[in-house]
Amino acid sequence: MLLFIFINYFYKNYRNNTMKYYTYIHYRKDNNKPFYVGEGSNNRATNKRIRNQEWKKVVDTVGYSVEIMSRFETEEEALAHEAFLIETLTSIGHVLTNVAAYGNDTINILRRNIVWEKKRKEARNSVTAIAAHKEKMLKWKFTATNVDTGEVTTFLGAKEMRQHPLKFDYAKACLCASGERKLHKRHTWIKEKY
């Protein structure tokens, strides 16, 4: 318990209060005991949305108060401190609603939060990658030559290729243009920038 008090004192008094991420504890109003430990940014500590049912039962019954425990530069630091607080409080006998909701394995709670953050970053990156890919697709001119009739058709991007009655596939046309495939729908392909 003394170690917990020392570490908490260190974080509260020596960390800059302008840091984006923080850890917090929710206390029951009837006995002032902690019932939830969390990490977040902005107004997460006081936000009542996206909470588990156990948390809502306590809040609806007795109400709660909030204490910001520490502030951090990165979410990973805040997650590690959250796991530390959960482990410390449960080891001295406090019943936490977040532990009841996710099991007693605080490492899994930490991993879950890190995985969610990675998925959010990947989603942001994939949207950027898709936009860049679409931009690249629009800058290519494809010339298709029918091997049977010799008819030549020019397409400015994948959209025009899909709109053709034969519904040409952009990826297959690229393979033909690079020499990895001979024909696509009985056409040879040349890919040029325009």
57, pLDDT greater than 70: yes
State the number of CA atoms in the 13 A half-sphere of 121 facing the CB: 7
| 141 within 8 A of 193, measured Cβ to Cβ | yes
Stronger pLDDT, 122 or 55, i.e. the higher one? 55
Report pTM. 0.47
Contacts with 52 (C-beta within 8 Å, 6 or more apart), sequence order: 97, 98, 101
Question: Domain residue spans in the chain?
Answer: 2-121, 139-193
The rounded percent of the chain whose pLDDT value lies above 90 is 29
CATH 1.20.120 fits 139-193, yes or no: no
For 72-125, the pLDDT digits (tens) are 888 888 888 888 888 888 888 888 887 543 444 555 556 566 666 666 666 666
Q: Give, in words, the CATH class of 2-121.
A: alpha beta
Give the pLDDT band (50/70/90) at residue 16. Answer: very low
